[in-house]
Structure 1
Amino acid sequence: MDLIVYAVPFFILAMVLELFWGLWVGHNTYRVNDAVSSLFLGTLSQARKFITLGVGGYIYHLTAEHFSLSLMSSKSIWTWVLATVLYDFCYYWLHRLGHERTILWAAHVAHHQSEDYNLSTALRQTSTGFLLGWVFYVPMFALGVPAEVLVTVASINLIYQFWVHTEHVGKLGWYEWIFVTPSNHRVHHAQNDHYLDRNYGGLFILWDRVFGTFQEELASEPPIYGIRGPLRSFNPLRALTHIYADMFRDSWNAPRWRDKLLVWIARTGWRPAELAVTDPRPKADLNDFVRFDPPTSLAVRVYALFQLVAVVALLGYLQAGVLDSYAASVWFVVAMLLTTVTTASWIEGRAPWISLRWDLLRLGAFALGLVMTPGLGIFTGVAAAYLTVNVLFVLLLYWSPNAAAAAESMNTA
């Protein structure tokens, strides 16, 4: 059973409590722009499942049918215990190689782009991990772990990882030696030299201690969150594709065929020597690190939260299973993606006329899709109301900055 859907109310409540606790103690770890960006990526990762084929599921079916040892039964408690441990062991190697090999890092990088560290960061998930991630769980397929056991322990593992994405829990004594905790996972999300590429476990930190990738959080070196090649964008499409785009460009421009292939399988950060000179990609200077935080108005922040609610509502409609065609599901996911991209334009502080243009195009496409998709029932009325409110909202966002600029100009004169 996939328990993620049932955990969503808990996730929301926990984020609200963390926000208020941070405000209460004077250490707020949330910014609207960054948190909305993370949650957009989380909703897109869930929506992706409705329009992509599960390669891993098909491989599981073939393995279970023809190659499985069928050693386990879902009725045995030992099956559940072994599956929990084995899943985390497989996850450790997926996670570790997800940092050490560029093709896997391209999928995982979205989770590390946030320059904040809070519970919303936990939900900042990739939408492309399904392409290769299943490879690491083939041993579980071969041992005959029942499908319902595998899905359940996978969701438990992911739910466990949610709570460790916080700055408000310190070290936990003996617990730190066995399990992943907020302290040792803060190390994992840090880009400091001392912390880079450490602490890969999902449930158990024991794997890191055994395989030499453990690093304790040091009081003398506070973590600096984010990635070395900062994205400096809240655009989810860029977040999900920028490493793939870099690899493709390097592979295309590499002068030697050997290097064209190596780009895809080499250790993360490797590039052909010639390209490192002609097309350098500077890394962040951690001695003078500044988070990407373009100034935005209160209206823009409210608009971003409004769109977050809309995207979550679209996801909920998808998950309700009321759509009766694949085309309708694709339209919903595209609508979600376009909404997140245009909202990112506003919260990145781009010129209002640019954001307005793209937002109106999105709303036009949304309206056209609404007309061409029959059988939506009550959703049609809700969507029409959303469109009306959205048009008024974007016009307000467009005119407000211009009005402020005009007033400032008049005062200066």
Structure 2
Amino acid sequence: MTDFTLLDAAGTVTTAPVNPAPGYSKPSSALSARTAFAASHVIPHAWADNTPGQPAEIDWDTTLAFRHHVWSWGLGVADAMDTAQRNMGLDAAATRELIRRSAAEAETVGGALVVGVNTDHVDDAVISIEQIIDAYTEQLHTAEDAGAGVVLMCSRHLARAASSAADYERVYSAVLEAASTPVVLHWLGEAFDPELRGYFGASDWRTASDTVVRIIEASGGRVSGIKMSLLNAESEISVRRRLHEGCTMFTGDDFNYVGLIAGDEQGHSDALLGAFAAVAPSASAAIQALDAGDAARFHSILEPTEALSRQIFATPTFYYKTGVAFLSWLNGHQPAFSMVGGLQSARSLPHLSEIVRLANASGALERPELAAARWNGLLALNGVTA
């Protein structure tokens, strides 16, 4: 079996043996110990004009096949969210089409699906509070009409326009009032999007969480859960303990998800993670272990993937989408390592090499021989050989 060629930041080349695939089995029944969604990426046509600023030309067959891959492992799909390059190359028309197509595919297999609702179809950088409400509501109705569950994403427009926590409460109250079914809120931290600094009216998460809890409590049951993506386990646990019964905490913490999903004596988080798109078989196998009452196996499967996820989501964190698409390519889910907006260039070869090493070590490579051939070939194309 061919070894992996590895490259470090100093240009030093080493090799590592290719580990066999872990051989996880797909679940024979629905996962029950935890609810888990994988926030999934989009795959463009490799021949399309995938350059910065150009409209997204999606390879729909391959993109939707990836969602079926996620569903086949018993996970739900979280679509049209930041992993799908919202505000980083996925334009409004492609977003609407992605929601429509994914909802139709989910119906064919009974797959769980939630989709992101935002205000990003509005071109103007600055709009009024009333216009923000209208923009959110427009996307909300688009998602509901498609038959998808809703994740109410953070809005850059709202971050610019809001002058106080009261403005956030006003907007969310109006949008939730328009929802026909309960929605999941999304609190995305500035590591993922620097324009969202101070979201919910404060830079300190403790103060901002008071606003979040008020929004949830005032919603009259229209909030079914919240996904927290602050990369701060303390903040998530704190808010989780304040949620009323029936309101779910979905961890979006790609640094600390193992302990948060495992939980403590006061509860646990379910999952809505970009990392789970990269390691869907491992995530499924770990939750299957919890279903069987084997917490030790849960940890032994999932803990090694956390180091991999930390590399994928390393600073600048908003380029993590590159690592998700890279692993999708290594695992044979797409024919080329290409991304909307040319974002495959956002990470260096040494960064990608470390992803390869950690994926190999953690059992995240579904087809290790293919991964080795593709990675070593990419290095060779760039003049790097063992």
Q: TM-score with structure 2 length normalisation?
A: 0.30
Q: Which has the higher contact order (CA 8 A, sep 6+)?
A: 2
The structure richer in strand per residue is 2
* Bigger Rg, which one: 1
- The structure with the largest helix share of the pair is 1
